[in-house]
């Protein structure tokens, strides 16, 4: 492919030229990303290591990457991950690639939710007793060595220790990792031991901060980027995510586990909210979704990079892009508590029609938010407060 003096500089130049011939819209950027992934170097470090030769293994990896990119495969599928807000999520063929405009959807939901509750340090009887015993043991050893008993130990006098804080979560039920599928029941409805975590002690239950848990539903979760971001950025959020595609459910669970969010995000395989238990209806603080919304006429004109590689199931929204949105809104109207928030990403050409659907379902204060490119993209509304 290249001569024996295949350096980072020559590899970048060759890859850029090859991808340009294959019709890549931004061959230079693609070359940088692929070489960065093949070598493990950041894009910045590539430019300060131009003369570094590539190993045989790196050359082989890069060849495979270049072939795939030359065939039109999205960069994100090749590298296997994508940055999304403050997290990085895994992506792979069969599941929709997260887009920057969806970050706006997450921003709108976070802005509409109550701020995280204050967390205060509380006295833990068990921890304080352990510290007291440890101090007493050190004092005894010092006394036996002939040191005055009133001396401080490591800067902490016997009576100067602060009570240990606790972080119990007794009144904030933590969802299980979502091993259930549609028909297995709502993970939030499971008994202790199969969906909720019991506090380690009574002190934990008493010492929890005065923070109210927020229950959110993320429908059509795909990679789980929305559910994970909401839980990552809002400590009081508990998210039930759903998707009908088994590939998406499996990937979302991997991302949840990798980000350490298994105690606060669960995934169900079902259509929209059909797998969520009836007794949960009326308890959600927010319903958020990036459903399939591309209108049929737009589907026919999608770029090959999208049409040939990303799943049509996650894109096709029917004639007007609202085929999934209509039943989604009907379910959200039942699922949300009074004052709860509905937020959906939708096609720019059908936002007014979507707002009419939401208002007909009883939602108030409906507004349309532009994405990062200035196109109308996100619909936000609220379920009216109870009278």
- Annotated binding-site members for S-adenosyl-L-methionine: 243, 290
Angle of CA points 266, 272, 274, to nearest 5°: 85
Q: Which residue in the block uniquely carries the two structure tokens 């997450």?
A: 106
Q: Which positions make up the binding site for substrate?
A: 290-293
The answer to whether the CB of 275 falls within 8 A of the CB of 268 is yes
**Pairing of the two strands 284-289 and 336-345:** parallel
**Pairing of the two strands 336-345 and 364-370:** unpaired
Instruction: Compute the distance between CA of residue 59 and CA of residue 105 in angstroms, rounded to an integer.
Output: 40
The answer to whether the CB of 54 falls within 8 A of the CB of 6 is yes
How far CA 110 is from CA of 117, 168, 209, 230, 341, in Å, comes to 14, 24, 20, 7, 10
Closest CA to 240 of 252, 250, 251: 252
Buried residues in 79-110 as b, exposed as e (16+ CB within 10 A): eebbebbebebbbeebbbbbbebbbbbbbbbb
Give me 359's structure tokens.
């208002």
In eight-state DSSP terms, residue 172 is S
Buried residues in 166-185 as b, exposed as e (16+ CB within 10 A): bebbbebbbbbbbebeeeeb
How far CA 24 is from CA of 30, 73, 258, 383, in Å, comes to 8, 10, 32, 45
Q: Which positions make up the binding site?
A: 243, 290-293
């Amino acid at each position: 492919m290249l001569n024996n003096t295949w350096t980072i500089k020559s590899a970048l130049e060759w890859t850029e030229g090859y991808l340009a011939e294959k019709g890549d819209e931004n061959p230079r950027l693609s070359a940088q990303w692929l070489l960065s992934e093949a070598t493990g170097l950041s894009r910045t470090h590539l430019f300060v290591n131009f003369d570094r030769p590539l190993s045989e293994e790196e050359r082989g990896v890069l060849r495979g990457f270049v072939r795939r990119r030359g065939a039109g495969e999205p960069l994100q599928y090749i590298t296997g991950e994508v940055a999304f807000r403050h997290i990085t999520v895994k992506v792979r063929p069969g599941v929709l690639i997260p887009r920057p405009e969806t970050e706006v959807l997450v921003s709108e939901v976070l802005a509409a939710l109550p701020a995280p509750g204050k967390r205060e340090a509380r006295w833990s009887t068990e921890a304080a007793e352990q510290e007291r015993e440890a101090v007493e043991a050190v004092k005894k050893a010092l006394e036996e060595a002939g040191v005055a008993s009133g001396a401080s130990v490591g800067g902490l006098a016997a009576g100067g220790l602060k009570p240990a804080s606790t972080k119990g979560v007794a009144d904030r039920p933590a969802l299980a990792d979502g091993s259930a599928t549609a028909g297995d029941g709502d993970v939030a409805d499971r008994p202790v031991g199969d969906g909720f975590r019991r506090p380690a002690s009574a002190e934990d239950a008493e010492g929890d901060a005065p923070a109210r848990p927020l229950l959110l539903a993320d429908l059509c979760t795909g990679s789980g980027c929305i559910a994970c971001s909401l839980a990552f950025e809002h400590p009081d959020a508990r998210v039930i995510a759903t998707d009908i595609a088994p590939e998406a459910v499996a990937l979302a669970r991997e991302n949840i586990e990798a980000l350490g969010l298994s105690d606060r995000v669960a995934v169900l395989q079902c259509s929209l909210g059909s797998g969520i238990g009836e007794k949960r209806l009326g308890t959600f603080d927010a319903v958020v979704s990036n459903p399939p919304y591309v209108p049929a006429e737009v589907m026919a004109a999608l770029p090959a990079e999208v049409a040939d590689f990303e799943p049509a199931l996650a894109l096709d929204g029917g004639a007007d892009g609202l085929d999934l949105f209509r039943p989604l809104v009907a379910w959200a109207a039942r699922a949300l508590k009074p004052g709860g928030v509905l937020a959906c990403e939708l096609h720019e050409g059908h936002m007014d029609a979507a707002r009419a659907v939401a208002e007909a379902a009883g939602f108030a204060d409906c507004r349309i938010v532009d994405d990062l490119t200035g196109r109308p993209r996100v619909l936000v509304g609220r379920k009216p407060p109870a009278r």
